[in-house]
Structure 1
């Protein structure tokens, strides 16, 4: 009997049968899961391509390839305002979707919570960031941070912002002076990024931490951001494919093999800079100028209430504030410049408006660029640029709370993931006439655009979790564009004529060089 059993187990055919049975079970289990996802899942009645309903892989791979904004626009064009893009995920477009997904939801438990499966900041810093916090934590963090980002606080930052904007103009004038014919060809994306990060770095850390404009060179932090966000797309996909235990084991293995070293360097740099700023005497800057920490750390020069953050909370939020306040401004400025250069009539109109509005460079400030009824075309240009090329083009995902929600006639059940895509919304003819065209006049009362759905344009987000830094972002973008237009005649170089085509997006846009020829239009005192 024992010999027969041993002979049975030693048989190659038996092991092949066992392996075949295991494989068959796995295939059957996967097939049954696919059948359930496509036909029986609570989201089954929401339209969308069946491969995306069956598995997270199709949309996950689109995200890792940087094609999400384009794919979502294509899907909404084909399937309508609500599209199923994963077994448990839905994408929406339109002004009603903004209200339904991101609004206050009075009487329904408050705003929808964020997807919490891939929260990284608590592990790295011991606290959670504003961008990843749950509803209650976000509300408390926002209450304590709001004083630093109010309209009044934003206007108090004008001297610091103006210093860097003027330095940008001087650097560009120096490039022109060094050119043989007085006209320099420069990569405006690089200069816009230098200016935006220098400004935000000083506002956040109390010093010129990057020094890009001063030194005329890139700093590692901004230049490695795309790698950081590309890694996040893989983190999201892994959280959807793996169980928590397997995910934890994979994370430990990746760490042991040296993966994520760039992310760790970012975290350590943020900690070091926060520590240095918080160690300043009496919580203030050497120059006495208020910055973010003047309002939100204990002992800050402007903090006279309980609006304080702990050191760990500052660690967690430093990277978020740094990126959100700089990368978006650089993207808006680059997008506006490209659209103007690609539409010479619009550029000529804006040049006339800006140069007629200010007698000298010294007159161009926050008050001048934001005064109601003044520089209306400049503000229309920025709005139209963000409509066509939103700096945050992928959805901010929420998790549907208890009881589910209604969006565009569809019931989305509890636990599903849902988000509104700006890129697909603002490029849809359902909401904007001639949606693919650059037409600033649509924001100035042009009658052919009277039926545009203005509520479908939400450049700074919607609801209680919208962008906290929108006040300063608007002022900074207007000042940068006004100064550039006032000081220089600009011309798009042939190599950048198709600059927007097929651009990669991993939450932020991977911007190629924007080559522009600059020629100073006049020399002014102090410029």
Structure 2
């Protein structure tokens, strides 16, 4: 009798627990928000979808099916509404970054990076330290570093063209972007362009890091434990870390700090060291290392993905390619372009700038929602009243494919949409999340824009590019950044080059 009683009691409690967890989501004030049924009960649905590597496409389809607000996990909601962008990400917003960002850095929240910092006061203080170093005015004095890498890349492409070799364009763009960020940050390339390969397996390390971050971010409480387990059980080369980049950066910082005289290089490291010497309280030695590490760790993917997208869309839209080629050729004939093309000269090519914006719209680097926490007073977003603590966010892909903003052809590559009147263009720009918005705008935005603006016209003034894959399709994988693979091309020297 006692055994039967214990069994019945246990079974009853188990059934009650199951029923409670099944019913609880329907008692929430947000129970009417639609979405996949499994997303109501567990984060497992979202985690499984993330592992498939195409969440940006799924996210767009979810909004087509369910509307402006979609549940993608318990108490997490994806928003597709243009008014939400300023509310969530604009200057002075009360919507703070969630614990998802914890997995992007170390396990000590007191040493969070600019990207991973969730405390707005801490973030503002940290960003203020480096703002002048990343201003466009300062970066234009470093244009020589981009030029060094661009000249080298053009020489390598000349050899590749003569051999008729087939190359993965997306891979080469990351080799280039890594060497540029090395020059700008440390005054020293990694040597990727010369070697034609991923020196030090940096790209592999970055890919592992972002796959880890994008998945574990939803289970940030696991991050300290997983980090400890990796160091305890995995050999160094298998850990989901950026050890090569960390060691390389640390060595360069120590080497530069040991120099008794100012080298006058003018790279980011030199400038930060000078600020530290002038006022050690403003920028510490740890700040110098973190800034350089952040540059190298996050400074290549956004740029290389954008460069991949620009050429992919030009290759699959020959009319746009012809229009851009004609603009570059005409400017070249007028003597308006240097080699390499300067950033200032690139700003005088309106169709080029339209192409760049349109490629960044159609293929933004980030492919997951930018999660934010609803503040204590709650908020109404897209007509839905959200209680405090709910996680909400906008996926740049969803925002950039919004037909109410970008028109019925939002899924088409049409640079001309950026050549409209100023008021229309400004409205479109308010809905771009390529580099984020507000106080959390990517601090390296200007570096990326300078590289992109210079390389595209420089390359097209000397080379033609041919897509090898006749299907016109590429492969992508979304692990925070939506990276391209197998973008196979051949490059050919132009018969006549205007000087």
Q: For the structure 1 residues 35 and 272, does the alpha-carbon distance in structure 2 shift closer, same or farther, using more than 3 Å as the test?
A: same
How large is the Cα RMSD of the aligned pairs? Answer: 3.1
Residues 145 and 307 of structure 1 are in contact (CA less than 8 Å); yes or no, is this contact kept in structure 2? no
Aligned partners of 1:228 and 1:262 also within 8 Å: no
The TM-score with structure 2 as length reference comes to 0.89
> Is 1:297–1:307's contact at 8 Å kept on the other side of the alignment?
no
Matched, 1:457 2:444: no
Match of 1:132, SS state, is coil
Aligned to 1:146: 131
Q: Within 2, Cα distance between the matches of 1:389 and 1:111?
A: 28
Counterpart of 1:256 (choices 227, 232, 237) is 232
Q: For the Cα contact (< 8 Å) 1:369–1:375, is it kept in 2?
A: yes
Unaligned stretches of 5+ in structure 2? Answer: none
Q: What is the aligned partner in structure 1 of residue 107 from structure 2?
A: 123
Distance 1:285 1:517 in 2: 46
| C-alpha distance in structure 1 between counterparts of 2:72 and 2:180, whole Å | 38
CA distance in 1, matches of 2:386, 2:177: 39
Trace 1:295-334 onto structure 2 (pairs within 5 A).
295-297=271-273, 299=275, 308-334=282-308
Residue 466 of structure 1 pairs with residue 449 of structure 2: no
Q: CA deviation at 1:451?
A: 12
1:163 maps to which of 140, 148, 172: 148
Change (3 A) 1:96 1:377: same
Alpha-carbon deviation of 1:203? 2.1
Closer, same or farther: CA 480–307 of 1 in aligned 2, 3 Å:
farther
Cα shift at 1:258: 2.1
| Pairwise CA distance, 1:414 | 0.9
Written as runs of structure 1 = structure 2, the 5 A alignment for 1:12-51 is 14=3, 22=10, 25-37=13-25, 39-51=26-38
What is the match of residue 362 of structure 1? 339
Equivalent residue for 1:270, pick from 246, 250, 257: 246
Contact 1:111 1:135 in 2 (8 A): no
Using the alignment, how far apart are the partners of 2:78 and 2:353 within structure 1? 30
The answer to whether residue 460 in structure 2 is matched with residue 485 in structure 1 is: yes
Query: Residue 224 in 1 paired to residue 177 in 2?
Result: no
Task: For residues 297-329 of structure 1, give each alpha carbon's deviation from its aligned partner in whole angstroms, at most 9, with x where no partner exists.
Answer: 4556xx856784333344445443224321111
CA distance in 1, matches of 2:111, 2:223: 21
**Maintained 8 Å contact 2:150/2:340:** no
User: Is structure 2 residue 48 aligned with structure 1 residue 68?
Assistant: no
Secondary structure in structure 1 of the residue aligned to 2:166: strand
Distance 1:491 1:322, change over 3 A: same
Pairing 1:399–2:387 present: no
Conserved 8 A contact 2:85-2:431: yes
Question: In structure 2, what is the Cα distance between the partners aligned to 1:98 and 1:347?
Answer: 32
Maintained 8 Å contact 1:492/1:516: yes
* Cα separation, 1, equivalents of 2:261 and 2:416: 43
Secondary structure of 1:362's counterpart equals coil
3-state SS, counterpart of residue 90 of structure 1 = strand
Q: 2-side partners of 1:247 and 1:216: how far apart? A: 35
1:303-452 equivalence runs, <5 A: 308-358=282-332, 359=335, 361-362=338-339, 364-370=341-347, 374-433=348-407, 434-445=409-420
Q: Within 5 Å, which residues of 2 pair with 1:196-235?
A: 196-208=177-189, 210-219=190-199, 220-235=201-216
Q: How high is the TM-score relative to the length of structure 1?
A: 0.84
Deviation at 1:221, TM superposition (A): 1.1
C-alpha separation in 2, matches of 1:170 and 1:207:
19
1:69 CA drift (Å): 0.8
CA contact (8 A) 2:35 2:66 kept: yes
Contact kept in structure 2, 1:43 and 1:84, CA below 8 Å: no
Structure 1: tracts of 5 or more residues without a match: 1-7
> Following TM superposition, by how much is the alpha carbon of 1:283 offset from its aligned partner in structure 2, in angstroms?
7.2
Shift in alpha-carbon separation, 1:257–1:263, aligned structure 2, 3 A:
closer
Give the distance between the partners of 2:473 and 2:158, measured in 1 at CA. Answer: 26
Partner of 1:81: 68
